[in-house]
Amino acid sequence: MGNEATVDATGASALLDVFAMIDFEPVSGAGVMLKSADGREYLDFYGGHAVALLGYGHPRLLAALERQARDLFFQSNLVPLAVRERAARALADFAPPGLDRVFFVNSGAEANENALRIAFRATGRPIVVAIAGAFHGRTSAAATVTAGSAAWNGFPSAPFEVRWVPFDDEDALRTAVDDRVAAVILEPVQGVAGARALSPSFLRTAREVTRDAGSLLIFDEVQCGMGRTGWPFAADAMDVTPDLLTTAKGLAGGFPAGAVLIPESLARGIKRGDLGSTFGGGPMACALVETVISVIQEEGLLGNVRHLSARIHAECAVGPVTGIQGTGFLLGLRTSRPAAGVLKDLRARGILAGGSADPNVVRLLPPLVLRDVHVDRLVSTLAEIPA
Ligand SMILES: Cc1ncc(COP(=O)(O)O)c(C=O)c1O
């Protein structure tokens, strides 16, 4: 299958070979279905790694894209834009109360990089606390708080000290957070680690100890945010509000966009020139951010996620699946044999899903527009696959 058209006469691709690609070349999509170059159809429980939040070809996204492209394709942050103001207002209103100020960037790593920068500046402290298994991105600071960073982040030295806390270990967290800690950064539901949710009790402890120590609490909702938990953000689902919240991936439904949200109290300490971005807050991304939020609300997608997630939890422990973890549409199916084989068997039957850092977890990250019939098909397909 695949990329014959993109290789040269010697068969070499011009692309740097850094991704372990799967044997599947999508050429078009509609709703939650993808069509491949060889003409097969796939039901998409992967969502382009949690990015295709509204699936493919959503008419309102296409209309917003076309309208904005015709009006104004790009302008920088040195000029005011009504569409940027509207997107920021919509995002702040969608986010937990108090996170009222928005800084737009282009990716998840960039959002976390800036959240950490804000935390260091605001506290003047040198240390960050991170959670085992975390993935926060590949820029310098984000990589430094990503699990295994010493081995892979690629820079000669870490830009700051990190204290690692074992997953969901409240006692270790209490010990780690003191008056030298600028911030605790965590994914309320760890994505790359295999859709592992931190317990509400751990998140409440994180809130309490950071407040007591004068440290800041950062929720990385790059993967679990934007409705994926069945709530606007995991912070809403868990009823714990951080000081800073980062989001990206599905934020603009597939167009590059990221954001850092902070309260007014932190915003007051940030001066002109402290942060910046050429593309962040561009009109195309902002038109889509505004539309994504409006579609989530007007199409009742949060309720849809909660309903179908409950069904997946109740019905998918069949075939090779021995248990289900995670929240909303960020789910991990624990498998009795290596997930790679289960993913291949699913693909052979026309269903795409994701892997994770855990070799026995299949990750589900479907678009929020999934329907009951698609869950029916997932359940019956899993039941057909050898355990
Ligand atoms: C929780 C989390 N944070 C940050 C990132 C990095 O996002 P990006 O690849 O857009 O830089 C990811 C990407 O998978 C992620 O899952």
Q: State how many domains the chain has.
A: 2
- Atom index in ligand 1 nearest the CA of residue 112 equals 4
CA distances from 15 to 23, 93, 153, 330 (A): 16, 40, 21, 30
Q: How far apart are CA 125 and CA 196, in angstroms?
A: 29
**Are 126 and 238 within one domain?**
yes
Domain residues for 36?
4-57+300-384
Which pLDDT belongs to residue 3?
A: 46
Question: Do 273 and 359 share a domain, yes or no?
Answer: no
162 CA distance to ligand 1 middle (Å): 19
In this structure, the answer to whether residues 275 and 331 fall within a common structural domain is no
Probe target for ligand 1 pocket from 46, 131, 136, 246, with the most ligand atoms within 8 Å of CB: 136
Q: Among residues 298, 328, 356, which one ends one of the domains?
A: 298
> 71 and 87: one domain?
yes
For ligand 1, whether the C-beta of 192 sits within 6 Å is yes
Q: What is the CATH number of the domain that holds 15?
A: 3.90.1150.10
* CA-based R_g, the chain, Å: 21
Same structural domain for residues 150 and 177?
Answer: yes
Query: Looking at the structure, do residues 19 and 68 belong to the same domain, yes or no?
Result: no
How far away, in angstroms, is 226 Cα from ligand 1 center? 14
pLDDT at residue number 7: 64
pLDDT for 153 = 76
> Domain end: 298, 317, 332, which one?
298
313 and 266, same structural domain? no
One domain for residues 158 and 209 = yes
Q: Are residues 185 and 44 in the same domain?
A: no
Confidence at residue 8, expressed as pLDDT on a 0 to 100 scale: 67
For residue 123, how far is its CA from the centre of ligand 1 (angstroms)?
Answer: 25
The per-residue pLDDT string of the chain (387 residues; one tens digit each, 9 = 90 and over) reads: 444 456 667 778 999 999 999 888 999 999 999 999 999 999 999 999 999 999 999 999 999 999 999 999 999 999 999 999 999 999 999 999 999 999 999 999 999 999 999 999 999 999 999 999 999 999 999 999 999 887 767 888 899 999 999 999 999 999 999 999 999 999 999 999 999 999 999 999 999 999 999 999 999 999 999 999 999 999 999 999 999 999 999 999 999 999 999 999 999 999 999 999 999 999 999 999 999 999 999 999 999 999 999 999 999 999 999 999 999 999 999 999 999 999 999 999 999 999 999 999 999 999 999 999 999 999 999 999 999
Record the tokens describing residue 305, joined without a space: 């996620």
Ligand 1 atom at minimum distance from 49 CA: 14
Q: 278, 298, 318: which is the final residue of a domain?
A: 298
Q: How far apart are CA 341 and CA 346, in angstroms?
A: 9
User: CA 140, CA 163: separation in Å to the nearest integer?
Assistant: 16
Do 250 and 286 belong together in one domain?
yes
Q: What is the pLDDT of residue 6?
A: 61
